[in-house]
Amino acid sequence: MKPAEVRGKEDTELDFDIESLEKELFDLKFRSLTEGNANPSRIRAIRRDIARMKTVLRERQKNIRGQESR
């Protein structure tokens, strides 16, 4: 997910997406440890997406970059 896509979403959408991605990340990590993972790069992509979303939420809280809470 690109930063422009993340900035276009509302805060509630970002919270929901973060929660679902964290759940998916947990499942992928668990599956990776128990049976091996077919696509380990997906874990890295999910971690980065979560970080992007949390960064945008924090920018909105601190009123950085002209972002407004939505």
- What's the CATH code, domain 3-62? 1.10.287.310
User: Which residue is it, tokens 């896509």?
Assistant: 5
With cut-offs at 50, 70 and 90, classify the pLDDT of residue 38. confident
- Are 25 and 46 contacting, i.e. CB atoms less than 8 angstroms apart? yes
CA distance linking residue 58 with residue 44, whole number of Å: 21
Please say if the pLDDT value at position 50 is more than 90: yes
CA distance linking residue 59 with residue 37, whole number of Å: 34
If you average pLDDT over residues 10-29, what whole number do you get?
96
Q: Which pair of tokens denotes residue 28?
A: 């992928």
If you average pLDDT over residues 16-36, what whole number do you get?
94
Nearest in space to 58 (alpha carbons), one of 5, 15, 26:
15
Query: What predicted TM-score, i.e. pTM, was given to this entire model?
Result: 0.85
Q: Which pair of tokens denotes residue 31?
A: 């599956």
Domain coordinates in residue numbering, the chain: 3-62
Please say if the pLDDT value at position 67 is more than 90: no
